[in-house]
């Protein structure tokens, strides 16, 4: 059985008894009452990735909590098929099928809300006095911001990144611990404190970011964290030849040259998601990296690998250290009511349940991996470490989200631009180009790629990198 199947089996063994217990408790004290007639079954359409994914993630919940509902899954995976325009295909699917419940992500939520595909929830929240005061305020602010000031969905959990560090390595090499408010300059300086360190014959790196498929992918992740983008807001002009991008390119290439970070594509970066690949790339869990920037999934990898390192977490680095803002805010799932649904009240009960304290309690008891639930009071510590840094995220809409590409930029631009950027990074690394020269050339070649992308792809077919999933 694959890992996802095993995960589901383990989860169900915990989930079903808890749900059954909840239902039994709800019925307590009612044994003397005459048996009620079973409720009339209602059919609801749910827009989600596909039937298998829905059954795996939500099937047991619906069976136990909403037995009166007959669910028809409107699969959205085909909208992302190669050669299709995801946004136009998604809009067409929603217009034709008119799903009652839409389970989406932060990558697509804003567009669906702006396009009038989602039902506004504020009136229902006010009518039922649904408690959103005890949901993480910055997640609610994020949803309101992306909804143009209104709430069109609610998210029971979120993911964001923090800075993990290996306390034992910092003690061994007498380096000061990272602290909240660390800047990117501080981070690169700290990474340099481990230059030349060894674990037997294997090098120890100051900083390692796993699962990066290209050198420019790593450079971009740092650039986006400080508010940079490859194009302007209109998606018409490449903006890579700037002093700010030059600094990011210089810091990254110097860190690779000095051995402060493993070279992307080297033997310590095999990529992929299978267990062997994860074990070979997660150098932090192996004790071979002093720091890494990652989300809650890093805790799961530490636990599953049996790692014995003394890890700690602080807020992630920022440009100037004055703000806890960071751009890796990701909400999944977001439960929303389809604007075309004629059963808003029935669907609202589902949205309300999955964002309730009851659901949060069950989720935290049944999940086999650490969570960051939006509702407060459920996850305070994991393995004795405070999870507070995850909840100190601040979202600034003026800088944009790191998981989003510019919505007005044709998607094919990014694929071609990445290739050009990797070529220029190689020239820098082998000493045949300076950073300044490389960015000048990348600006010229990138603009040509962007112009060609616009000619090949009409404006409405740009993508923000997200989809209902």
Q: Where are the domains positioned within the chain?
A: 3-19+41-159+329-382, 162-226+244-314
> What are the angstrom distances between the C-alpha of 414 and each of 127, 131, 252, 319, 337?
45, 41, 20, 24, 32
Range from 13-22, 93-102, 203-212, 240-249 carrying the lowest mean pLDDT:
13-22
Q: What is the pLDDT of residue 24?
A: 45
Helix (H, G, I), strand (E, B) or coil at 291: strand
Tens digit of each residue's pLDDT (9 = 90 or more) over 57-107: 999 999 999 999 999 999 999 998 877 788 889 999 999 999 999 999 988
pLDDT band at 237 (very low <50, low <70, confident <90, very high): very high
Class of domain 162-226+244-314: alpha beta
Whether residue 387 is predicted with pLDDT greater than 60 in this model: the reply is: yes
- Sequential DSSP letters for 310-379: -EEEEPPPBSSSS--B-S--EE--EEEEBTT-S-HHHHHHHHHHHTSHHHHHHHHHH-SS---BSBSSS-
Q: Give the predicted TM-score (pTM) of the model.
A: 0.84
Q: How far is the C-alpha of 124 from the C-alpha of 114, rounded, in Å?
A: 19
- pLDDT on residue 272: 43
Residue 12 in this model has a pLDDT that exceeds 90: no
- Rounded (5°) CA angle 152-465-156: 40
pLDDT of residue 458: 56
More confident of the two residues 119 and 221: 119
Q: Please tell me which residue, 3 or 97, carries the higher pLDDT value.
A: 97
Q: How far apart are CA 295 and CA 162, in angstroms?
A: 6
Q: Which of 328-342, 431-445, 455-469 shows the lowest mean pLDDT across its residues? A: 455-469
266-270, 273-277, 400-404, 463-467: segment of lowest average pLDDT: 463-467
The yes-or-no verdict on residue 462 having pLDDT over 50 is no
> What is the predicted pLDDT for the residue at 363?
86
CATH number of the 3-19+41-159+329-382 domain: 3.40.190.10
Q: What is the DSSP string of 98-135?
A: --SEEEE-HHHHHHHHHTT-B---HHHHHHHT---TTB
- Cβ atoms 47, 103 nearer than 8 A: yes
Indicate if the pLDDT at residue 150 is higher than 90: yes
Q: Are strands 330-331 and 158-159 parallel, antiparallel or unpaired?
A: antiparallel
Question: What pLDDT digit, counting tens, does each position of 324-379 carry?
Answer: 555 677 898 999 999 999 999 999 999 999 999 999 999 888 876 677 899 998 88
On average, the pLDDT of the chain sits at 85
Rounded mean pLDDT, 155-175 = 95
Percentage of the chain lying above the pLDDT 70 cut: 80
The answer to whether the 3-19+41-159+329-382 and 162-226+244-314 domains have the same CATH topology is yes
Find which of 325-329, 382-386, 439-443 is predicted with most confidence, using mean pLDDT: 439-443
User: Is-cis flag, bond preceding 333, omega within 30?
Assistant: yes
Do residues 323 and 329 make contact, with C-beta atoms less than 8 angstroms apart? no
Give the per-residue pLDDT at 25.
42
In this prediction, residue 37 carries a pLDDT of 59
Instruction: With a cut of 80, say whether residue 39 has pLDDT above it.
Output: no
């Amino acid at each position: 059985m694959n890992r996802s199947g095993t995960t589901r089996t383990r989860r169900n063994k915990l989930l079903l008894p808890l749900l059954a217990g909840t239902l039994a408790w709800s019925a307590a004290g009612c044994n003397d009452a005459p048996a009620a007639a079973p409720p009339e079954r209602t059919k609801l359409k749910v827009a989600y990735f596909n039937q298998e994914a829905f059954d795996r993630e939500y099937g047991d919940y619906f069976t136990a909590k909403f037995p009166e509902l007959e669910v028809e899954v409107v699969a959205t995976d085909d909208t992302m098929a190669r050669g299709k325009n995801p946004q136009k295909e998604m809009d067409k699917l929603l217009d034709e099928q008119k799903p009652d419940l839409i389970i989406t992500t932060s990558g697509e939520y804003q567009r669906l809300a702006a396009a009038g595909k989602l039902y506004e929830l504020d009136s229902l929240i006010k009518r039922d006095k649904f408690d959103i005061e005890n949901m993480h305020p910055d997640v609610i602010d994020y949803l309101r911001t992306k909804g143009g000031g209104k709430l069109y969905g609610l998210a029971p959990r979120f993911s964001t990144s923090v800075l993990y560090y290996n306390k034992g390595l910092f003690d061994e090499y007498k380096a000061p611990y990272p602290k909240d408010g660390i800047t990117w300059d501080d981070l690169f300086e700290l990474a340099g404190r481990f230059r030349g360190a060894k674990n037997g014959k294997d090098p120890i790196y100051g900083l390692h970011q796993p699962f990066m498929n290209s050198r420019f992918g790593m450079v971009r992740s740092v650039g986006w964290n400080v508010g940079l983008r490859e194009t302007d807001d209109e998606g018409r002009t490449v903006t890579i030849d700037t002093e700010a991008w030059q600094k990011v390119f210089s810091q990254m290439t110097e860190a690779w040259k000095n051995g402060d970070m493993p070279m992307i594509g080297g033997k310590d970066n095999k990529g992929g998601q299978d267990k062997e690949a994860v074990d070979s790339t997660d150098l932090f869990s192996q004790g071979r990296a002093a720091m890494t920037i990652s989300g809650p999934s890093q805790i799961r990898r530490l636990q599953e690998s049996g790692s014995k390192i003394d890890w700690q977490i602080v807020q992630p680095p920022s440009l100037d250290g004055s703000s806890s803002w960071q751009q890796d805010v990701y909400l999944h799932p977001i439960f929303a009511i389809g604007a075309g649904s004629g059963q808003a009240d029935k669907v609202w009960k589902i949205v309300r349940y999955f964002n309730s304290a009851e659901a949060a309690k069950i989720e935290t008891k049944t999940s086999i991996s650490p969570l960051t639930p939006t509702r407060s009071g459920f996850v305070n510590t994991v393995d004795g470490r405070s999870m507070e840094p995850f909840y100190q995220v601040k979202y600034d809409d003026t800088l944009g989200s790191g998981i989003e590409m510019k919505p007005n930029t044709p998607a094919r631009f990014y694929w071609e631009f990445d290739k050009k950027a990797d070529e220029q990074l190689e020239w820098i690394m082998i000493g045949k180009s300076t950073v300044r020269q490389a960015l000048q050339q990348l600006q010229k070649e990138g603009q040509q790629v962007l112009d060609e992308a616009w000619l090949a792809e009409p404006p409405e077919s740009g993508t923000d990198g997200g989809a209902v999933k």
